[in-house]
Structure 1
Amino acid sequence: MTELSIEGYHLKPFTIETKSLMESYLKYITSDVDVSDYSFAANFIWLSGTSGFYTIVNDTFCLFNLAGGELSMLLPPIGKVENVNDAMMICFDIMNKNNSSITSSKIEYVSSYFVQSFIEYSEDADIFQALDSYIIEKKNIDYVYLADDLINLRGNSYATKRNEINKFKKNYPNISIEMLNPEAHYNGILELTNNWVVNRMKYLPNVDMDTFIDGINWERAAIKRTLHYFDKLEILGIVLKFDEKIVGFTVGEKLNEKTASVIIEKTDFFTLGAAQYIFWEFSKILRDTYNITFINVGDDMGLENLKKVKMSYRPHTLLPKYTIYQKI
């Protein structure tokens, strides 16, 4: 994988060796941003091994994604807030120089923290012009919960969750939880993933098949990257076993001093209650390991069913995420 040279900037491949550099810039914002996308591990896991590039612009870390020959940004420039706005404009110049149309140039997963900084610096005339040149569109939201709510499941609003967990424990008395070991659990996790795909496809409408296949290939690659680089990523995971067979696994990390996030979760398609049970157990482990108050489970990817599931856990906070485009 080679570098890209655009507008005098050298865009280098985004690899596991980039971790310490990106995290040195993330330290400027992690106390203010609870959005799950603002971590090295989350981006490294979900990016294709050949599509991520980065460069330093105006002393900010800038992460790009190359898809179909077109460049976009997966995050706004990361660094001190006073450097971000100028860096963003330069990054749009870089994307425009590479792309076939400015409509392909965009910055995704922009948190309210960066949108607010845009407004705070708008007293300058140049920034007024910038606001006239860009569209800021709300795209998704992250679902953030109080860890204690997910663990204690108190009150009528959590009655269904308590019943599902209790029923699962009754139906599967030989369940066990193990801390994820990528070497010991690799084959079992991939077998679980493959079986889930086969069973899910049986109930998938044909009209959704192409989208599903694209998505699952992406997810499979992400799971393999997670297991291959697990120790270097410094993340945390557990597996759920029934009679020594893996029927679920999940992976997460500490975002900052008060918030942890869940990056991936997968459970057996026919083991009813496994998803609720492993989420309950992992919430306890995240809280006790990292001494955090909140757990972020990411966005719903625009899927109505996933939205219903995440809302059913009564989120404490909904964190909006925006995409910035240029006006044509």
Structure 2
Amino acid sequence: MEFKTPTLEDKKELDYYLLKDSTRSCDFNSANIILWNSFYKCQYTIIENCVVVKTDEEGTSFSYPMGNGDKKKAVETIMKYCKEKEIPFIMHGITHEAEEEMIAMFGDIFKVEYDRDEADYIYERESLATLKGKKLHGKRNHINRFKENHQWSYEKLNDENQLEAITMLMEWKMQNCSPEDVEKHEEVCVSKNSLIYYKEFGLTGGILRADGKIVGFSLGEPALNPDTFVVHIEKAFANVQGAYPMINQQFVIHEMEGYKYVNREEDLGEEGLRKAKMSYRPAYMLEKGFLRFK
């Protein structure tokens, strides 16, 4: 069983298998797998017509097989690989649905440790678009201040505004990234590559302008479950009041018509990010964890 480091050239092969399956998890969008491969040391292989991704999480761990092939045989192949390599059998990104499927295939021989830091935030699209209700009153106020203070516009990411968006990202980096914050620098690198290769990755982007200048942008794509849209990246200038809630809302309004849910990914345990994501009142948390033998 050979694993390969995913590149943009592998997107077509990954999508061939991934799109035959369904999940709201952000872990199985091919753009995420490819763009983050250097940070998480992602590699993939095809087993029994399913994609399996190996990362350096928990030493070495494997994703749940995704595709329409024989998932039991695929998992058995991973188990055999682990035995040969003399490494523990660990699977990452396991949802409750995947846990139930594992129990159905193998019996109650596993335990899953769910990690709050890795849980995806799932919102109702309508809630993010309208921001109705007392609990979202503060968001509406920030947006109103933004509209009052600026001549603003929203536009779709395209070849004409692409370079300007990258320039805005580099300015954002200067304001937000300390030299020792390796993960933040990797996040900026992923954001930059997403802007450069947005068409090749099949990403949809949105741009927010205030008085002619780009002050925020977002990038995302549909999840494997067609009722859900995943927001991979959102950047805005924090010193522009209302820029973050404004790009959030406008991106949902313009690019997510017809979707029921919006996955805004995990917070990775970052306190400020968790507070911001919780303030939008998620419909539920999509829990993910590590699966091991009991």
Letter in 1 for 2:73: D
Deviation at 1:50, TM superposition (A): 10
The residue that corresponds to 1:115 in the other structure is 99
* Amino acid corresponding to residue 20 of structure 1 in structure 2: K
Paired residues for 1:187-202 under 5 Å: 187-201=163-177
Q: State the secondary structure of the residue aligned to 2:269.
A: coil
Q: Runs of 5+ in structure 2 lacking a partner?
A: none
2:36 and 2:42 in contact (8 A); partners too: no
Question: For residues 166-198 of structure 1, what are the alpha-carbon distances to aligned partners after superposition, in whole Å with 9 as ceiling and x for unaligned?
Answer: 0111112x22111112x4334333332232233
Q: Say which one has the larger Rg.
A: 1
Can you give the 5+ residue segments of structure 1 that lack an aligned partner in the other structure? 1-8
Aligned to 2:199: 231
Q: CA deviation at 1:87?
A: 1.9
Q: What TM-score comes out, normalization by structure 1 length?
A: 0.80
Mapped to 1, the partners of 2:83 and 2:156 lie a distance apart of: 45
Over the residues paired in the alignment, what is the CA RMSD in angstroms?
A: 2.6
Structure 1 equivalent of residue 187 of structure 2? 219
2:73 to 62, 65, 86: 86
Aligned mate of 2:156, from 179, 188, 195: 179
Moved more, 268-277 or 225-234: 225-234
Q: Is the counterpart of residue 152 in structure 1 residue 140 in structure 2? A: no
Supply the distance in 1 between the matched residues of 2:262 and 2:206 (Cα, whole angstroms): 16
For 1:219 and 1:286, the matched residues in 2 are separated by 23
CA distance in 1, matches of 2:51, 2:273: 32
Query: Which residue is 1:72 aligned to?
Result: 61
| 1:310 maps to 2:287 | no
d(CA) in 2 for partners of 1:270, 1:80: 47
Contact 1:72 1:95 in 2 (8 A): no
Amino acid of the residue matched to residue 241 of structure 1? Answer: R
Over 3 Å counting, the alpha-carbon distance change for 1:185 and 1:48 in structure 2 is farther
Which deviations, in whole Å up to 9, do the C-alpha atoms of 1:125-155 show, x marking residues without a partner? xx45xx2xx5421012111111111111112
Q: Which residue of 2 aligns with 1:106?
A: 90
Per-residue CA deviations over 1:208-246 (Å, capped at 9, x if unaligned) read: x63xx2012211221232123211221210111223322
- How far residue 49 of structure 1 moved from its aligned partner, in angstroms, is 8.9
Counterpart CA distance in 2 for 1:92 and 1:184 is 49
CA drift at 1:326: 5.4
Is residue 2:17 matched to residue 1:25? yes
- State whether residues 40 and 55 of structure 2, in contact with CA within 8 Å, keep that contact through their aligned partners in structure 1: no
SS of match in other structure, 1:257: coil
User: Take 1:20 and 1:299, find their aligned partners in 2: how far apart are those partners?
Assistant: 26
| 2:287 alignment partner, one of 300, 316, 320 | 320
1:252 alignment partner, SS class:
strand
SS of residue paired to 1:102: coil
Cα pair 2:123 2:263 within 8 Å, conserved: yes
In structure 2, what is the equivalent of residue 41 of structure 1? Answer: 31
Quick one: structure 1 residues 229 and 196, their matched pair in 2 at CA, closer, same or farther if it must change by over 3 Å? closer
Compared with structure 1, are the counterparts of its residues 218 and 94 closer, same or farther at alpha carbon in structure 2 (3 Å cutoff)?
A: farther
Q: TM-score, normalised by structure 2?
A: 0.88
CA distance in 1, matches of 2:207, 2:287: 31
2:252 alignment partner in structure 1: 283
Task: Write out aligned runs for 1:6-17 (5 A).
Answer: 9-17=1-9
The percent of aligned pairs where both chains have the same amino acid is 27
Shift of 1:160: 0.6
2:260 aligned with 1:293, yes or no?
yes
Deviations 1:8-57 (A, max 9, x none): x2223312232232222223421xx2112221122222222994322112
Aligned length: 291
Distance in 1 separating the partners of 2:128 and 2:231 = 13
Q: Can you list the C-alpha shifts for 1:243-270, whole angstroms capped at 9, x where unaligned? A: 3322111001111321111010011131
- Matches of 2:174 and 2:261, distance apart in 1: 34
